[in-house]
Structure 1
Amino acid sequence: MSVTSRYLDAWEGFWRDAPEEPGGVIWDAEPARSAERHLTLLRPHLADPALPIVDLGCGNGTQTRFLAERFPLALGVDLSAAALDLARRCDPAGRAEFTRLDATDPEAVRALHQRLGDANVYVRGVIHQSEPADRPRVVEAIRILLGDRGRAFVFELAEAAKDVLGELVHAPDGPPPKLRPVFSHGLAPAEVADAVFPELFRTAGLDVLATGELPLATTESAADGTRIELPAHWLVAGPGGSAPN
């Protein structure tokens, strides 16, 4: 099974229209405010830092390029071919690798695991943007890619983000400019209950090794000039049996 054509078309349209300049996409925050913070939280739980890392849902590859400087191999994967084209243009030095992957296609995910071996996995804002029926499949893809030795860092919007986004959408002047394309392309963030987030991983047979809260940094500013941040939470997961005693 794979994602619906509507979902694929929405992402292709979004990334075809996305600006190329850094920070042009609302969630394209600089690594110092995203992947660098996340790696600090993941690093104590890594069983093998020498494993490659897969940036699942890499988009234009901003975070992938950062990870490529800290792991032997960083592979950015995304559903959207347009996103991957942009990621490659933004990486003229070829620091990272990029390839298309439908994370809801278990055969494709197994083939990638066979190619890479066990891998660490970085996921930022993918599950809440997935169709409800696809969320367990995305988590299963993470489980497959981890194998026996990998660890995953997963960062997603919290329930409270829905209210913040609602306020932004209904502001007197309308949504902030960088938020408008998200809704116009039909990519409105979906609600994932806070309690459901870790249970998705436990149900897949993964151990949840650590959890916490950390705002999702955006590249958009409020009317008063402050940078908009959205409530979010994170977890580190590993294969069953990896949890500390």
Structure 2
Amino acid sequence: MPWPMVHLAISNELAGGDPSPDLLLGCIAPDAIHARGQVSREEKGVTHLVLNGSLPAKERIMEAYLAYLPQRSEPAWKDFALGYVSHIYADLRWTETLYADFERRFEGDRDEIRKRYNEEMSRTEFALLRSLPGAEAHLTKLAAARGYAIAPFLTRQEVTHYRETKLGWLRNGSHEPRVRPVYFRLEAVMDFIRATSMEFSDLMRAWGTDRQHRQLSNGTRRLRDGSPTSRRPA
């Protein structure tokens, strides 16, 4: 699955370069299951709406979003819920594209593939942190988000604890490995971010959830103006 900076970058695209704090927190929240320590693949699957061992189809993701939207009235909740389901969609597309290609190309056993993946994604996290405009400001926003529970999967405390763990990791440059990415080069990851944000925007329009988000909250700038950053003319 993509690591936090990829999800934060997708939220940035969805919000036209001005993501709200709770959109940013929501987009990493499904992985807050790790706040419990060692968790099984099945336990992690619950927070990602996995069914029969597979990530949900896009229709199931949008159905979940429609169910979440009216649960609370605050605009911040609407953004948090949007971030949450965008994370699951990004995971789905990652497994179908970049990660699937990685598995086809990599020669080695399971332990080696996991080690290589973690090394390259660690390097990519810091490359994105350096490359994305406003990345440091987004981390400051992320730190300020109030956060919510996603019942019955995660408590608010788990979500905020996971955030603090990830922020601490990203703000410690010693975590960046000295490895040259081969399978997850920055250019390929940036292409994925742009493509996935556009796909998800189109999916929201097709389901009418972009309109519902606007009606129920002030939302984020991306949902007000209808154009992700990568589609704006230079």
Structure with the larger helix share: 2
Structure with higher strand content: 1
* TM-score between both structures, scaled by the size of structure 2: 0.33
Q: Which has the higher contact order (CA 8 A, sep 6+)?
A: 2
**TM-score, reference length from structure 1:** 0.32
